[in-house]
Structure 1
Amino acid sequence: MAQTVAQPTATTPVVPAKLPLKAIAPWAVFFGVLMMILLYFVGAEQGATSVFNGTGVHEWVHDARHLLGFPCH
């Protein structure tokens, strides 16, 4: 017993919904700033520009430094 699949007969194009820039911009800025802060901690949080004393942050992001190509030792 063969099953037949009904094929749609109407060829209405599917149009994706448009998102206004005003709805996307605040989120883009938020995630952009968040990524810059993360990049700072991964790439530069040690030495003269460190925000926190000690090597705690350095040890937490140590492998990420090497993955992204930042030298640290």
Structure 2
Amino acid sequence: MSSMSAPASLSTPVVLPAAKAALWLVGTALIALAVYYFIGVDQGAYSVFGNDMHVHEFVHDARHFLGFPCH
């Protein structure tokens, strides 16, 4: 007879306090909004950084690939 035994080490879940989880959520949301702005909204003409920083041209092909119109 073969007996099945539990694995020697069980993994335990990571438990975050609510304040730390909220901090991670807010930080992730801010980074996601910044990425969305630079890829989907920034057109160069009314860019946050002015006309010298052409983020639009840097991510131009990615904008079309993701379905954002820019012309």
User: What TM-score comes out, normalization by structure 2 length?
Assistant: 0.66
The Cα shift of 1:7 comes to 3.3
The secondary structure found in structure 1 opposite 2:51 is: coil
Aligned to 2:47: 50
Query: Considering only CA atoms, is the larger Rg found in Structure 1 or Structure 2?
Result: 1
Aligned to 1:66: 64
Q: Which runs of 5+ in 2 are unaligned?
A: none
Comparing 15-24 with 33-42, which one deviates more in the overlay? 15-24
Give the letter for the 1:58 counterpart.
H
User: What TM-score comes out, normalization by structure 1 length?
Assistant: 0.65
The secondary structure found in structure 2 opposite 1:49 is: coil
Q: CA separation in 2, counterparts of 1:44 and 1:27?
A: 24
Q: Which runs of 5+ in 1 are unaligned?
A: none
Report how many residues are paired.
66
- Asked if the contact 1:42–1:64 (Cα under 8 Å) also holds between the matched residues in 2, the reply is yes
| Stretches of 4+ aligned residues off by more than 6 angstroms | none
Q: CA RMSD, aligned part only?
A: 2.9
Query: Which string of whole-angstrom CA distances, capped at 9 and with x for unpartnered residues, describes residues 14-35 of structure 1?
Result: 7635333222110110110111
Q: CA separation in 2, counterparts of 1:71 and 1:55?
A: 20
Aligned to 1:7: 4
Q: Percent same amino acid at aligned positions?
A: 45
